[in-house]
Amino acid sequence: MIGEPLFSIGPVPWNPPVADDFDGLLIGSANAIRHAGEGLALYGGIDVYAVGAVTACEAEKAGFNVKAVGEGGLQALIDGMAETPLKLLRLAGAEHMTLDPPANIRIEKRIVYRATSRELPQSIADQLADGGIMMLHSAAASVHFSQECSRLNVSKANIQIAALGPRIASAAGAGWAGVSCAHTPRETAVLALVQDLCHEHS
């Protein structure tokens, strides 16, 4: 297994609104906690609603109380809270999903980080020439990896895609040897999927 970052993550300047105006923070990525900077400290007394376990862990390390942890994305998380009137501050990346909150949940958004794409090294392209399995964790990563394969003349027909979820798989486009999704959007599920794919082609 080889790890290669497709993006560099960095902070974006932002103006933190008054903490007392909100019932909690809505966090869709651990990067929001890592890169929100000094402004994050203003919200230490309110709960965090986290998209998943990794994000929840990062919030807890930063001293927050995690009120709820999702399993199927932010939309599923807020849909599951539809019975509770809430005003949430969403800390997000420059590229993020649009949410359709229930009527009794109000969301205000601030962009606190940005992902900048990185070129795939030729050394990785050379290793992919004979095929392999690529784990993809975001729709942006799927699109960028596909573009990099085209730029480096890497045959998609030799590569299997193991995606964290259906939207990510769809963003990869066509032409791959196969595209599969984890049964649940968790890292352990993606690793289990890769293991199954390896067994199928061993």
pLDDT tens digits, one per residue of 177-201: 999 999 887 788 888 999 988 887 6
Question: In sequence order, what are the beta bridge partners of 79?
Answer: none
pLDDT tens digits, one per residue of 12-68: 999 999 999 999 999 999 999 999 999 999 999 899 999 988 899 999 999 999 999
Q: Which helix (H) or strand (E) holds 25?
A: strand 24-27
pLDDT at residue 127, as a whole number: 92
CA dist 150 and 93 (Å) reads 26
Can you give the pTM of this predicted structure?
Answer: 0.80
